[in-house]
Amino acid sequence: MSDSDSNQLPEWQPSQPRRRSSLPGTGDLSRRLMDDMDPEVLEFLKTTVNSFIKWDLVIFFFENPHTTDTLDNIARYIGRDAVVIKTDLEDLVKAGVLEQHASGTLTVYSLTKDARIREKIKHFVSASDDRQFRVKAIYHLIRGTR
């Protein structure tokens, strides 16, 4: 390579957004971390349990499967503020993980009776008992929050 060639640097284009995969090794690391995850669990993590609050809620309802209570009380049970969990709780209702009912003037939440979704939850919770899985899943959730 001649000196004149080395001086011809590619034109800098600041308006062009930088792709994440262009960060050294990030794309590969992410792919490597997720590649050996069970596809069904990975899908559940990506589409349904895609926040730490949803993770807390899913674990809570799995461990206490017949819970029937209000937003405020459920927030207390998982040690968080009702305002903070409201959106995530409603997202889990939309995803079919939880059911919402009216009880008099109260709105109460409980775990779905759908056996297929309960099986997915069981599969997810069982996978999250493994430390390696948790590390990968946390990495995925942190990336998702960026």
Partner 1 sequence: MERVKTGITGLDEMLGGGFLSQSANLVEGAPGTGKSTLGMQFIYGGITQFDQPGLILTFEEFAQQYYEDAANFGWDFRALEQANKLRVIMTSPEVSYSDLGGVDGRIQAMIKEIGAQRILVDSLSHFDRLSDDPVARRGILYGFINSLKREGLTSLLTRESSALIGELESPEEDVAFVADSYLMLRYVEIESAIRKALVVLKLRGSDHAKDIRQYEITRNGIEVQSRFEGREGIMSGSPRRMADSFVEAFVRR
**Interface with partner 1, residue 129, by CB under 8 A:** no
Q: What b/e string do you get for 54-83 counting C-beta neighbours within 10 Å, with b at 16 or more?
A: bbbbbbbbbeeeebebebeebbeeeebeee
**Residue from 63, 79, 145, 146 that binds partner 1 (CB under 8 A)?**
63
Nearer residue to partner 1 within complex by CB, 32 or 101: 101
Distance from C-alpha of 76 to C-alpha of 94, rounded to nearest angstrom: 22
Nearer residue to partner 1 within complex by CB, 64 or 132: 64
# residues near partner 1 by CB under 8 A: 17
Burial group, residue 115, by CB count within 10 angstroms (0-12, 13-18, 19+) = exposed
**Interface with partner 1, residue 96, by CB under 8 A:** no
**Interface with partner 1, residue 100, by CB under 8 A:** no
**Interface with partner 1, residue 122, by CB under 8 A:** no
